[in-house]
Amino acid sequence: MIYMDLSRTKKVFANIDNLKSKHVAIFGLGGVGGYVAEELVRSGVGKITVVDGDVVEASNINRQIIALSDNIGQPKVDAISLRLKAINPDVIVHAHNMFFLPENSDVFDFSEFDFVADAVDTVAAKVELVTKLGGKNIISCMGTGNRTDPTAVAIGDVFKTQGCPLAKVMRLLLRKKGINKLTVVYSTELPIKTSDRTPGSTAFVPGAAGLAMAGFIVKSLLS
């Protein structure tokens, strides 16, 4: 049985088989991280580490690719592991049912990862991830909430972005850590202002950010 036929991908990436030996970690499995994990496995990445301490909720179904009506209450790392194995039974998945925080960051040996995708929600966790890697071999997701235009998603240096409140905070904190460069996916669309502290979300903006992150990682690993 052929589990992964990458013949169509090889038409644009002749060296795609090189991804079989690569190990990518995805921190955060929400509207962005789930897409990153799935597209990396569909591209042939051989080993994936996923980190998230949350469970699937009904409110996730509008935007999270792992959220289905029949897996409500399931840990997200279990939901994504089953999905990734269904795509490629040969993929190695290391699942950590925990929230990544500065105080537990030593659980991970970051030298094991060829690349890291930061899709966590908290600023402290983002800064810790970036600091651990010195801003290298990592792409970090900025804000996707309260936005409606998937074509406004872009990739660039966090120190050159405009219009993203989260990126502004990250720049300030990273400078204090001596980090002056970080690749991020962000939106050039200004967020819609609401009185609710919980941001609104769509099915397509977080997904577009996740797809952009996955594409950047694949190209980086193959370059």
Domain annotation for the chain: domains and CATH numbers: 7-222 (3.40.50.720)
pTM score? 0.96
pLDDT at position 198 is: 86
Select from 86, 45, 159 the least CA-distant residue to 37: 45
β-strand pairing of 23-27 with 47-51: parallel
β-strand pairing of 183-187 with 153-157: antiparallel
Average pLDDT taken over every residue of the chain: 96
pLDDT at position 150 is: 97
pLDDT at position 196 is: 82
What is the dihedral sign for C-alpha 183, 136, 168, 49? positive
What's CA 111's distance to the chain center, in Å?
Answer: 18
Report the distance separating Cα 201 and Cα 31, nearest Å.
Answer: 9
Burial readout 190-203 (b: 16 or more C-beta within 10 A, e: otherwise)? ebeeeeeeeeebbe
pLDDT at position 195 is: 83
Rounded percentage of the chain residues whose pLDDT exceeds 90: 94
pLDDT at position 2 is: 57
Q: What are 48's two structure tokens?
A: 């994936």
pLDDT at position 111 is: 97
| C-beta separation of 188 from 162 below 8 A | yes
For the chain, which ranges sit under pLDDT 70? 1-3
Q: CA distances (Å), 158 to each of 30, 121, 135, 147, 161, in order? A: 21, 16, 11, 18, 5
Q: At what angle do helices 123-133 and 165-176 cross, to 10 degrees?
A: 50
What is the chain's Cα-based Rg? 17
